[in-house]
Every structure is written in structure tokens, then in C-alpha cells.
Amino acid sequence: MPIAMPDLGPSIDEAQLTRWMVTAGTAVRRGDVIAEVESDKALLDIEAPADGVIGELVVEAGGRVRVGQPLARWAGEDAGLAIAVERGAPAPAESADAAGSPPDAAAADVAAAGAVAANAVVADVAASVAVPLEARREASVAAAEPAQQRVFASPLARRLARQHQLDLARRRGSGPNGRIIKRDIERWLAEAPAPAPAAASDSALGQSVLEPHSAMRRTIANRLTEAKRDIPHFYLTIDCDVGALLALRAQLKETYPDLLLSINDLVVKAAALALAETPSLNVHWTEEGLRRLSTIDVATAVATPGGLVTPVLREADRKSLRIVSAELRALAERGRLGRLRPEEYRGGGITVSNLGMHGIREFAAIINPPQAAILAVGSVEPRPVVRDGQIVAATLMTCTLSADHRAVDGATAAAYLAAFRRFIERPLALLL
């Protein structure tokens, strides 16, 4: 009976198996973490679907595996005998006798157990019934991990080490008890000698180093290529006067000093309320029809060392600014650490991509399917504007909406941007 790769969410057909937590012969219980895989969004734990003994690891660490493909195989139905005995349950033959099964059925069970025992792995497990299960599981996990993986390191440090092919064995970090953290990786990379350049097939390339694609970067590349190629994008751009928004933020920070409220938090709340006013934009395109969403869920683009992730803030229109701010920070942190759960990046009615903090005045983003739109937010800056025939200074923010013309018409996209600008320029509505 195989242990198959589970469904990781829409548009995710495969992932890279980064490491095994078990080896052949490991006794596991349902829910135990047996492997770690990397999708385009995050590092995910694969759990054992049932109690039993691992018989064979089908996919090697570093290999790619598709959804539904076998990751490993159980040692056999009778391989779980040790677990059953430790729990005080009767052995299979004893259960049959107690139920009044005929002698030939019991004999068949014994014969089956004998056949499984011929497998050396299962025989070793059955012989270790007297050893506590937890001790055997810990020993198996320790044996499954090579020495270079048995280190104390943060998840982000492990990801950076894998990306730069940095061996963490016999290294000691600057964290508590020698734990390796991000700054240790950065320091070691800065101290390391420059790698020898790879041979270039074209002399015009000069000296260069070929860095293999990570699973995350490869999946992002494939999805964005498909999105740009298959989705008929159109773009609408609008300028928003954020003077009143900045004044409200300053008042809130003065009244509530503990409130860590960013401009992006206010933008996300405005984007959610505008989506609630224009439900025709809150759709997913499918070949069968338009899927109209019942809740206002806003995804936000978060840059990570491995690439871009888009965690989703659920029911953003119904949440206070304090909750929006706290949840966005928590989602962004888990995204940077690669620890988003599948339900935290699936779906969403629209994505907000904000590059204003990097000084980008305006840009057009690629739609994140199956969503029908993405809002690109630029920097906040003073610009000259004409008011009542006079040139005056105003603080403006340029936003560009990319929309899927299969699902959304120009009038709908324009109505959304008009609603968004109204919430930005009259920000008291964000407090209701």
C-alpha cells in the first residue's frame, strides 16, 4: 500500500522532496511527520496517513514528485504488529480466535505473518516489540538524517544554506546553545572565497556561475509564464491623494502608541472594502464558468529569499485595522520563513503588490491565477497638481490594476478603482 503525495492546493501539481524524517523500518503513528517537501509557496510537512511501519522510500531526497505519486510504501499490513502489541491489542491470530474464526483463517494469518517476517526490515521491527515505541521512532529518525542535517538551525537558515549549498555540519551559530540563524549564514557566505566560475559555452558570457533553480523559483517561473501567456491582461492606472490617509495614520499612532499600522495595512483594508462594493471583480475564471466568491479575501505579495509568496487575509473587509495589521505581519513572517500552511495561500479574490517602500512610482503586475485582478501600489510622494486653477503640492500614490479581460470588463475594473480611491481619500470609512 503506497503513501501518496497529498494535494497541496490549486495549480500545484508537483513539489520537491527536501528531506526524509524516517527510514525503512521506522514505526510511525498517524499524524507523525515523515517528510518535508517544498512547493512554490512554502516548506510543507507530509504526515503519515495511518499507523504502521515504513517499508520502502520510493522518492529520494532532492527528487521531484507529482501529486498522487507514491512517496513511500508500507512494510505490509502485519508490519504494524509491534504497534498493536504495545497498545495491548491482541495479535491478528488472537483476534480471529476470539471472534470464533475457523482454524484455517487463523492459519492463514500465521502464514501471512511468516511471509512478512521473511522481510529483514519487518523481522527486525517485530523482534523489537519489547523496546518502547517512542524510543524506536526517535532512533529511526536519527538514523534517517545524515550527520550534516542534525544541526540546530532556524528554518530560514536551513533554506538559505540549501540555496547556497552550504554545509552546516560541525558549524556553531551565534544563537542560543549554538543555534544557527540567518545572520550566521550571511556572515559565512561573506567570508567564503568566491566560487570558481563555471565554464561558459559562449565566450561573450565571460566569467559566470550557474546557480541551479530552486523548486520554488522553477514553479514561480512556470506559473507566471502561463499567466502572462494565457491571460489577456488589461491595465488601468489611477492617482490617489493620500494626504488625509497619512493624517489619519498619524492620529491613530498618537492615540494608540502600540498600534504598528503601516500604509500597506490601510491600502489592504481599502482594497478589501472596494472589492466588497464591486463583487463582479471578486471572481475566479474557470473553463466551465465564473466562480463567484462569497467572502472578501485579499492576498498580499511578500518577498522571500526563495521568491514571491502570496498569503491570503481572510474576510479582510470585516476586520478592524488593528487585526488587519497584526494578521498581515504574522502572515508575512511565516511566508518569509517558508512556513505558510496551504489554507493560508489558497484562493483570494484579489492580490495587492506594494513596491512603494522601494521607491517605485508605478508598475504593472502579472495576475495571480485563478484571481481576476491584481493591484500594483507605488510610492507615496509629493507632486504638483492643479486645483482651482492653481498649481499646488499634493501627496499622491499611483496604483495600477491589472485585470483578466476574460472575466472582467473595463467598466467593472474602473468602478473598482474609483471605489478604492474613495476609501483612500476619505479614510474615516476604513474605521467603520
Task: Name the DSSP class of 40.
Answer: S
Distance of alpha carbon 157 from alpha carbon 240, whole angstroms: 40
Distance of alpha carbon 205 from alpha carbon 225, whole angstroms: 25
Task: Name the DSSP class of 174.
Answer: S
Distance of alpha carbon 15 from alpha carbon 37, whole angstroms: 6
Q: Which of 33-42, 160-169, 219-228 has maximum average pLDDT?
A: 219-228
Q: Compute CA distances 420 → 8, 200, 381, whole Å.
A: 33, 50, 18
Task: Name the DSSP class of 175.
Answer: S
Task: Name the DSSP class of 32.
Answer: -
Distance of alpha carbon 287 from alpha carbon 123, whole angstroms: 53
For the chain, give the percent of residues with pLDDT over 90: 44
Find out whether 209 and 195 touch, Cβ atoms under 8 Å.
yes
Grid coordinates belonging to 45 = 510537512
Supply the mean pLDDT for the chain.
Answer: 80
Architecture of domain 232-431: 2-Layer Sandwich (3.30)
Is pLDDT larger for residue 180 or for residue 132? 180
Task: Name the nearest CA neighbour of 13 among 40, 36, 32, 35.
Answer: 40
Task: Name the nearest CA neighbour of 110 among 132, 81, 139.
Answer: 81
The CATH classification number of 149-191 equals: 4.10.320.10
Identical topology for domains 149-191 and 232-431: no
Nearest 5°: the CA angle 402, 345, 401 is: 10
Task: Please give the backbone phi and psi of residue 116, each rounded to the nearest 5 degrees, phi first.
Answer: -65, -40
322-379: pLDDT as tens digits: 999 999 999 999 999 888 888 898 899 999 999 999 999 999 999 999 999 999 999 9
Task: Name the DSSP class of 375.
Answer: E
Task: Name the nearest CA neighbour of 144 among 24, 17, 4.
Answer: 24
Lowest mean pLDDT among 38-42, 56-60, 147-151, 274-278: 147-151
Instruction: Confirm whether 405 is a catalytic residue.
Output: yes
Task: Please give the backbone phi and psi of residue 292, each rounded to the nearest 5 degrees, phi first.
Answer: -85, 125
Residue of 164, 213, 358, 405 marked catalytic: 405
Helix axis angle, 243-255 to 410-425, nearest 10°: 50
Return the domain boundaries, the chain.
Answer: 2-145, 149-191, 232-431
CATH label, 2-145, candidates 3.30.43.10, 1.10.1060.10, 2.60.40.10, 2.40.50.100? 2.40.50.100
Residue 392 has a pLDDT of 95
Composition of the chain by helix, strand, coil, percent to 5? 40, 25, 35
Task: Name the DSSP class of 280.
Answer: G
**Which DSSP string corresponds to 116-168?**
HHTSHHHHHHHHTTTS-HHHHHHHHHHHHS-GGG-S-B-HHHHHHHHHTT---
Q: Compute CA distances 415 → 280, 318, 376, 418, 428, whole Å.
A: 10, 21, 16, 5, 20
Residue 205 has a pLDDT of 60
79's CB contacts (< 8 A; 6+ apart) are 52, 53, 55, 116, 122, 125, 126
Grid coordinates belonging to 386 = 492643479
**Single-letter amino acid, residue 246:** L
Which residue is it, cell 492463514?
108
Distance of alpha carbon 191 from alpha carbon 126, whole angstroms: 50
Task: Name the DSSP class of 310.
Answer: -
Distance of alpha carbon 421 from alpha carbon 239, whole angstroms: 8
**Which DSSP string corresponds to 384-404?**
EEEETTEEEEEEEEEEEEEEE
Find out whether 62 and 99 touch, Cβ atoms under 8 Å.
no
| pLDDT at residue 158 greater than cutoff 70 | yes
Distance of alpha carbon 425 from alpha carbon 418, whole angstroms: 11
Residue 2 has a pLDDT of 83
| pLDDT at residue 296 greater than cutoff 50 | yes
Task: Please give the backbone phi and psi of residue 44, each rounded to the nearest 5 degrees, phi first.
Answer: -125, 145
108-140: pLDDT as tens digits: 443 444 443 334 433 443 444 334 444 444 444
14-20 vs 64-66, strand pairing mode: antiparallel
Which residue is it, cell 529483514?
120
Task: List 57's β-bridge partners, or say none.
Answer: 72
Which residue is it, cell 472578501?
296
pLDDT classification of 11: cutoffs 50, 70, 90: low
Distance of alpha carbon 310 from alpha carbon 9, whole angstroms: 13
Work out the average pLDDT over 140-160: 60
Distance of alpha carbon 138 from alpha carbon 135, whole angstroms: 5
